[in-house]
A and B are shown apart, each in its own frame.
Chain A
Amino acid sequence: MKRSRGFMIALVSMVVFVTGCFGGNNAETSKESKAVESQKPKEAAVAPGEAGGGKEAPMLAELVKAGKLPPLEERLPVASDIMIEPVVEEIGQFGGDWNMSWKGPADKWGVGMINEEALFRFNKEGKAVEPNVAKGYEVNDDSTVFTIHLREGMKWSDGMPFTADDVLFYWEHMLTKETFGKKIYDAYYSVDPVTGDKALAEVKKVDDYTFTVTHKYPSVQFLERVAIDNKWFFAPAHFHKTILPEFVGDAKTLEITKQWGYEDPKQFLVETGYYFWLHPEIPTLAAWVAKTDANSEQFVMERNPYYWKTDSEGNQLPYMDRIIENQIQDPSQQLLGTLAGKYNFATFDTANFTVLKENEKKGDFRVIPWTQPTWSSAGVQLNQTTKDPNLSKLFQDIRFREALSIGVNRQVVTDIVTSGLGEPIQASVPEGVIGYQEGWAQHWAEFEPERANQLLDEIGLTKRDKNNFRMFPDGSDLTLTVFESDTNKSAFLELLKKYYEDMGLKMNVKMVEGGALFDLKYANEVPIHTENISVANVAFRPDTMVPLRIITPWFGHYGLYTQSGGTEGVKPEGDVAAILDNWNKIKASKSKEEIDQLANEIYKLHMKNQWVIGYAGPTPMLLVASNKLRNIPEGLVWADEYRTVGHAHPAQFFLKQ
């Protein structure tokens, strides 16, 4: 264990070092973003002299030569508006395929996130956003008017110009009309700090490359929330005009729906409007565009000839020609394929750490760990509003939660469940992630079975049944039922059962299929679940920590109460109410400092109450890349909010010859 500690420390310090490096970069980029107009691409101006040869991929140069594609300068935005993507290690070489495995079209996001172009994206540290599709922005003093600049001469992957009209079109004809199955995102509403009144923003075009978003009340976090809720605040108007019923009429849309092989026009519009990257017909701004049917065994995406980013030497990105996603049916195939070098990039959880590490040399790949902002890798959430009144009273008792926490030997759980890669700590925000609290990791983390039993006796669970299990004071049966759909959790649940039953608490596990579990959650039928909380910043994405709607097991129907405006569900009280209170203040807040301070309060309330109990600390996400695949940053944070691998800017990955 000592050695593994050393390894962890090395790992953590590496992470800190790397994030430190990027922190420096970050300061620069944020400065740039404030003063976009003065940004001068260093290389692009010199480019034409040596263009033609090394500046674009050979496969595109051939097309240009054959007259099938306009020359590079015409495809890129105007020189001053080209986005220059910094490379991680070195300037790359063109060509090659990015070979991966995926679970098929059900895994829409697996291929979506790595190839996504947001209006504003998170910087390396994840603390703020930086321009991406947008060239820059200005905001007035009270954070109500955001003026956003686009890149002049930027084009969709079919060569049509990308302008503010595409943003306005998306806003007016898709988002606010809710054509793609999603309600208008929260980010577009601002809240009156006094009355709590919610108002929808207004979006206006200023010129072809500028538009404004105006809020009625201050919306300090507007850009960050858009970067999470609605990264693609734009859509190819010229394409959607040909399918939306508003433009072509219901009959024609139905006809097109059938032509595409779909059944229902609404579902068709969801697929094309929301999961657009899977369809070769739809132009995008991404580095690679779909070339084959996503349902085929091999989903191929090819480089976008109109991609608007270059490296610092003016080479048009992406470096790699194609993304190839090979469909697999079982995770073991990903592992075997990676060992055999079939896939040059893959991600794994820690269960495969040893076998990957031992084959690093033979397979000519490297394992790159990224930290996850996960509170724990094994833990339980106690549904505070579970249906059985006896049980919910128990779960709401802080002494009961403490007993459950200290009655389990974390050392054993961690060693078995995480292969020694995690720490035996409480569910808490890891160091280096926003919301970190001193001492949280050690909160109720010692193994003290006597004290646990004493606490349970204190609560009044002194009666025992014939099997020596504790009963409720009224003599009714006390069973802790954990609902689970993931078979990989079985080892942890076995250990949990052993320790809980050592305390005299009967525990059952009910395995259900994923969809059924989802329904059970909504019906508030899940008293205990093992979901781990993973959140990069509560202020950006509150869903798992603040009971806003039904989704996270620990708050159960408190969420329904908020969602329904108080007509259904259970009214939050005490510290849960305090969390909601803080959240409402965040939404109406006028400054980032205030938001940070309020968010910190929410974290502190979680630390105090530990509705989510962790028994093993978080483990890193393992990125496994062929040694030929370069420019992959080390030690970033793996989070959905940052689009997982997308955070590494895959357009600058390249295959070294």
Chain B
Amino acid sequence: MRTLPIFKRAKTEAFLESAAKDINYSSQWKLIYMKFKRHKLARISLIVLGVLYFVALFAQFIAPYSLQSYDSKYVNAPPMTLRFVDADGKFHLRPFVYELKSARDPDTMRKIFVSDTEKRYALKWFVQGEEYKFLGMFKTKLHLFGVEQPGRLFMFGTDAMGRDMFSRIVLGSQISLSIPLVGVGISFVLGLIIGGISGYFGGWLDSIIQRIIEIIRSFPTLPLWMALSAAIPPRVPVVTMYLYIVIIFALIGWTDLARVVRGKFISLKNEDYVVAAKIAGVGNTKIIVKHLLPGFMSYLVVATTLAIPNMILSETAMSFLGLGIRSPATSWGVLLQEAQKVENVALYPWKLIPLGIVVLTVLAYNFLGDGLRDAADPYKK
């Protein structure tokens, strides 16, 4: 390690002449944007997240089936293969699936599925299916794709109640990608403000805030949730109930961030440039926003992008404890919790597909965070 490769890299990374010219006159945000654009993985991640959120927004339209399309005939069916070549070796331009026939093994009672090569169902765009409300506005039966009745399309197989896993994953993303943002948002704002106050002003205010944080942190969350979920009347839908729980969670969870923010403020507020600003009579708010926050922006970005996937995961843990979302309302946590039975890992491994989606989302969030971090770093060129 003779020279820090970071510098070597910066040198070798040839700046475009024109860009260099612009840089001198660019605002901070533009700089960030330009630097972010150069982070390839972060860009890909942004696209992935964009797709995921787009799918979540139009989930009802994209999912071929609803959350309540139980079917005892197709219990635990493996994923279907989309085919182009039929049993006779004939090629079809339109991909198709065969009709699925099922019977139970008389000895083990396992559902055994056989493709009936006589009956083909071609994949079609814009097919009529179950009715739903498009973006909550008007009723329609149109779905993005599917196969004609009575054919079935199970791209990711089915669950123990015969529901299409693909549809459940798509529909589940609505909860999993939105509610965590609420929780992280609340924690972030509280943590930043309270931690900032505590660190910047110090003294007795700091002492009191720190003691309050200690008290809040020792709240036993499990009985709190149990009490809460028992107190909420049964007519409140599970999703709303889960939102309440997440908010409560956030009202406790901000303490971690607050503590780190405080530490940073304490260490930064005695930097020469801050002291100088103070002497020059700059107001507290301005000092915090202009001089202190940028100093650890990167930490905040990393912490937040890590917090979102953590919230997605903590939802799965809540489902494990029986406090989270409950089917038929579906989130990725519900799907993972259903998958965690030994028999599923052993017999029906396609139920682990949601895990892949969760991993993808978490990865995307983290690489995005990486990119933002690098972009926000004022020292880096």
Contact = CB atoms under 8 A, between A and B. Distances in A.
B200 to A, nearest CB: 44
Contacts of B108: 353-354, 357-358
A497 B347 CA distance: 28
Nearest to A4: B104
A508 B343 contact: no
Contacts of B347: 354-355, 358
A1, A336, A357, A420: which has the most chain B beta carbons within 10 Å?
A: A420
Contacts, number: 84
A351 B226 CA distance: 27
Given A3-B103, A355-B347, A416-B72, A491 B109 contact: no
Interface residues of A, number: 38
A498 B70 contact: yes
A415 B72 contact: yes
A585 to B, nearest CB: 41
Contacts of A479: 234-235
Nearest to A5: B106
A355 B234 contact: no
A336 B161 CA distance: 24
Nearest to B71: A412
Interface in A344-360: 351-355, 357-358
Interface in B322-343: 322, 326-328, 340-343
A275 interface: no
A353 B230 contact: no
B13 interface: no
Interface string B199-231: 000000000000000000000000000100110
Contacts of A508: 234-235
B107 interface: yes
B224 to A, nearest CB: 13
Given A355-B347, A498-B70, A3 B161 contact: no
A83 to B, nearest CB: 39
Contacts of A6: 106
B75 interface: yes
Interface in A329-353: 332, 335-336, 351-353
B327 A490 contact: yes
A415 to B, nearest CB: 4
Interface residues of B, number: 30
Interface in A503-517: 508-513, 516
Contacts of A335: 342-343
B38 interface: no
A511 B327 CA distance: 12
B381 interface: no
B346 interface: yes
A419 B72 CA distance: 9
Nearest to B341: A332
B234 A353 contact: no
Contact of A352 (B105, B235, B343): B343
Contacts of B72: 411-412, 415-416
B308 to A, nearest CB: 27
Given A6-B106, A494-B70, A416 B161 contact: yes
Contacts of A420: 104, 109
Interface of B: 68, 70, 72, 75, 103-110, 160-162, 226, 229-230, 234-235, 322, 326-328, 340-343, 346-347
Closest 5 interchain pairs by CB?
A415-B72, A510-B234, A357-B108, A355-B343, A3-B106
Interface of A: 1, 3-4, 6-7, 332, 335-336, 351-355, 357-358, 411-412, 415-416, 419-421, 479, 481, 487, 490-491, 494-495, 497-498, 508-513, 516
